[in-house]
Amino acid sequence: MTEYLLQLAASPEAWAALITLMAMEVVLGIDNLLFISILTNKLPEDIRPRARRIGIGLALIMRLGLLSTVAIIVQLVHPVFTVFGHAFSWRDLILIAGGLFLVWKATKEIHHAMAPHEEQEAALGGTLQMSFSAAIVQILILDLVFSVDSIITAVGMTEHIPIMVIAVIVAVLTMLLAAGPLANFINRNPSIVMLALGFLLLIGTTLIAEGFGAHVSKGYIYTAMAFSAGVEALNMMVRRRRPAGAGH
C-alpha cells in the first residue's frame, strides 16, 4: 500500500488528475452549497451555523461512504429498464428524483418570497417549528443526489481511489469555509435570494434533463450563472450609489 501511494505521488499524471478533479469537485459543490445556504437561512439564527456544518459534514460522510462502494456505484450507470426505447439507469432515476425535488423546493421558496407579508408571517411559525430536523433531512436528500453524480464523474476521470478521496475532502472543506460567508451574503441581500432560487431551478431542470439522457454541458450552466451574478452585482453597486429617496 505504501509503495502504491509513493508511486502515485511521483506520477505527474496523478497530480494532473488530482488538480483537475479537485477543481471539478469544488465547482460541482456550488450547487449543493447554494441549496444549503438558502435552506439554513430559514432557520432561527442561532442554529444556522450548526445546521450548515452538519449538512456539509453529512455530504463528506456520504461521499466517502460512496467511494468505499465505488464498484457498486459504477453499476448505477447500467440500464435497468426501457421506456419508449429509452433505457434508464439507477443514476438517471436518482438525478430525475433529485431534479424534481429541487424544482419543487425552489418553486415553493419563490412562492413564499412573493407572498404578501401577512401570509409570510402566518407561515413563519410553522416553518420554524419544523426547523432543524426538516432542514437536515432536505439537505441529506440533495447531498445524496449530488454525491452520486460527483462520484460517478470522479470515477470517469481517474481510477485511483486516494485521488478521489483527496479531491472530495478538499471540495467539502472548501464548502465548509464558504458556507457561512455565502449564507450571510444571501441573507443581507434579498435580491440575491431570488437569483439563487433561479439558479436552483436551472440546476434542477438540468438534473431532470440529464436523467432523461439530454446532456447539458456544465460550462453553459455555470456561464449563465456567472453572467446573471455579474449583472446582479452591477445592480447592487448602482443601488448603493443611488442617494436615499431617489427615484428609480
User: Does some domain include residue 122?
Assistant: yes
- Tell me, letter by letter, the H, E, C secondary structure of the chain: CHHHHHHHHCCHHHHHHHHHHHHHHHHHHHHHHHHHHHHHCCCCHHHHHHHHHHHHHHHHHHHHHHHHCHHHHHHCCCEEEEECCEEEEHHHHHHHHHHHHHHHHHHHHHHHHHCCHHHHHHHHHHHHHHHHHHHHHHHHHHHHHHHHHHHHHHHHHCCCHHHHHHHHHHHHHHHHHHHHHHHHHHHHCHHHHHHHHHHHHHHHHHHHHHHCCCCCCHHHHHHHHHHHHHHHHHHHHHHHHCCCCCCC
User: Does some domain include residue 33?
Assistant: yes
User: Does some domain include residue 15?
Assistant: no
Pairing of strands 86-89, 79-83: antiparallel
User: Does some domain include residue 47?
Assistant: yes
Q: What is the pLDDT of residue 188?
A: 78
User: Does some domain include residue 9?
Assistant: no
- Of the CA atoms within 13 Å of residue 57, those in its CB half-sphere come to 7
Q: Which structural domain range is residue 124 located in?
A: 20-76+84-241
Q: What is the pLDDT of residue 123?
A: 45
User: Does some domain include residue 247?
Assistant: no
- Does the model's pTM come out above 0.85? no
User: Does some domain include residue 5?
Assistant: no
Q: What is the pLDDT of residue 18?
A: 77
Q: What is the pLDDT of residue 127?
A: 45
Q: What is the pLDDT of residue 246?
A: 55
Quote the number of domains for the chain: 1
| 106 in Cβ contact with 200 (< 8 Å) | yes
pLDDT of the chain, 248 residues: tens digit per residue: 566 556 666 677 777 777 877 777 777 777 778 888 888 888 888 888 888 888 888 888 888 887 777 767 777 778 888 888 888 888 888 888 888 988 888 888 788 777 655 444 444 444 444 478 888 888 888 888 877 777 777 776 666 778 788 888 888 888 888 888 888 887 777 777 778 788 888 888 888 888 888 887 777 777 887 888 888 888 878 877 776 555 55
User: Does some domain include residue 163?
Assistant: yes
CA distances from 232 to 155, 157, 196, 199 (A): 36, 34, 11, 13
